[in-house]
Structure 1
Amino acid sequence: MPRPRSLTTADLGNAALAVIDRDGLEGLTMRAVAKELGIATMGLYRYVADRDQLEVLVVDRVLGAMETAPPEGEDWRAMAVVLLARMRSAVAAHLAVVPLILRHRQSSAASLHWMEAMLTVLTDAGFTGRDRVIAQRTVVGFLLGFLQNEHYASITGPGTATIAALSTDDFPLLVQTASQARKMSVDDEFRGGVEIVLRGLSPR
């Protein structure tokens, strides 16, 4: 009887991502990934201990192709925008994995390299100590929040249309804002949000 073929971490990550792309995040199970790979479920445990390890491999698979070196330039805000856009682009084709990026961003090597690059940009701009901590967490917080909105509550989605149709007597500003949002693109929202966040950050 031939020995089972050896699987690489890339094989595992690709199979898990294929399951998520097809069946959603709720479809990611050890059994589903094993089936995708054409092996027995118990055979998968030769490579990973549990679903958590699979999730980290998925995050690395999605972010692994992203350029993580600090961009060149003199304007630190422009450089930060480049890094934020890289992460958004990497996730764009697989928005269902956004919750995994939130959960495993401190375990994924690709995510850690990206954070190191952002810290390099901030440090070169003059952020140190407590201010650097706050600046880093602020830009990361904006990005993760934006990715969640893009996936779950896009301004072009049905939820915004529902809000725009509410009574103006009860929710005048909410209706006005939702109506304006429907005329915008997700790219407009991203660029505008980044500009506001970075405008408010400055090294002491």
Structure 2
Amino acid sequence: MNDPAADVPALPPPSPWERERPARARVAPAREPLSRERVVDAAFTVLDRQGLDGLSMRQVATELGTAVSALYAHVSSKDDLLELMYTRLFDSFEIPEPDPGRWREQVRDYARAWRHCLRSHRDMARISMAHVPFTAELLPHVEALLAVFRTAGLPDRIAAEAGDLLSTYIEGFVLEEGMWQDRAALHSGEGSSLARPDWREMAGEMQNYFASLPAEDFPHLRAMAGVMVTDSSDERFDTGLEIILRGLATYLPSPPV
């Protein structure tokens, strides 16, 4: 009986240089060093996945594959981390040079851009409402917005209140949007506030309800059923913003006759 192994040629002995070459060490892939930027990035990932109530230093550490204690070399506390996340939103946020002839358009662009920033991450409106932009990094943004108001001719007292009024409106609007998203997600069983509710369907249901109310008891709600709720969140936002802008415009000095 033939041995199959006998027909297989033997391997040649190792060459001299192979014998002299040391065995190749197994090199573990280099780990990216922990930094403040990576901690903030991981915090946003956790925030988008679990919401503000689920954001913790432990969860951020798990996301980074490190110990909680390692985070404290870069952030002092969870509050510090939230402030860094809030500040991060302003990184690409710019206000143009004030133009008194276009101040309404500039404020309108600012409001829409800030709403977009807050909507870019889950529960960011809640974080924003808990912080004021009076840190050294954010004061230039406050200064730029005040410049738009004052250059337009608004009195100082009104200009001072206008910034806070605008921020409260934007943050409150986005907060409400997030609450409706959470409610829609729970209703659909998805369990994520990133779900988008069907605004058109919801608006239609509410309009039909108002239209069905007894006219003798609710004449105004019934008459306005078609405009009480719109099917566009953007339209609602712009309408509220326009009301604010027109109110501010009444404080401008009257042009000379």
Identity of aligned residues (%): 30
Residue 252 of structure 2 corresponds to 203
Unaligned runs of 5+ in 2: 1-30, 182-197
Asked whether the 8 Å contact 1:34–1:41 carries over to 2, the reply is yes
Residue 188 of structure 1 corresponds to 235
User: Which residues of 2 match residues 123-162 of structure 1 at below 5 A?
Assistant: 123-153=150-180, 156=199
Structure with the larger RCO, 1 or 2 (CA within 8 Å, 6+ apart): 1
| Letter of the 1:197 counterpart | I
**Deviant stretches of 4+, over 6 Å:** none
One of 103, 118, 122 as aligned partner of 2:145: 118
2:72 aligned with 1:45? yes
Query: Offset at 1:147?
Result: 1.8
| Letter of the 2:103 counterpart | W
| Letter of the 2:53 counterpart | E
Bigger mean CA offset, 169-178 vs 85-94: 169-178
For each residue in 1:136-186, what CA deviation from the matched residue of structure 2 results, as whole angstroms up to 9, or x when unmatched? Answer: 222222222222222224792887677554772476655776763554311
| Letter of the 1:134 counterpart | E
| Letter of the 1:23 counterpart | Q
Q: In structure 2, do the counterparts of structure 1 residues 87 and 122 end up closer, same or farther at CA, with 3 Å as the change threshold?
A: same
Q: Distance in 1 between matches of 2:133 and 2:119?
A: 20
Query: Offset at 1:16?
Result: 0.4
Unaligned runs of 5+ in 1: none
Q: Distance in 1 between matches of 2:103 and 2:159?
A: 13
Asked whether the 8 Å contact 1:118–1:136 carries over to 2, the reply is yes
Query: Offset at 1:110?
Result: 6.2
Q: Distance in 1 between matches of 2:139 and 2:223?
A: 40
Q: Distance in 2 between matches of 1:149 and 1:178?
A: 21
Bigger mean CA offset, 159-168 vs 100-109: 159-168
Q: Distance in 1 between matches of 2:213 and 2:44?
A: 43
Question: TM-score normalized by structure 2?
Answer: 0.66
Higher Cα Rg, which structure: 2
Q: Distance in 1 between matches of 2:100 and 2:77?
A: 42
Query: Offset at 1:33?
Result: 0.5
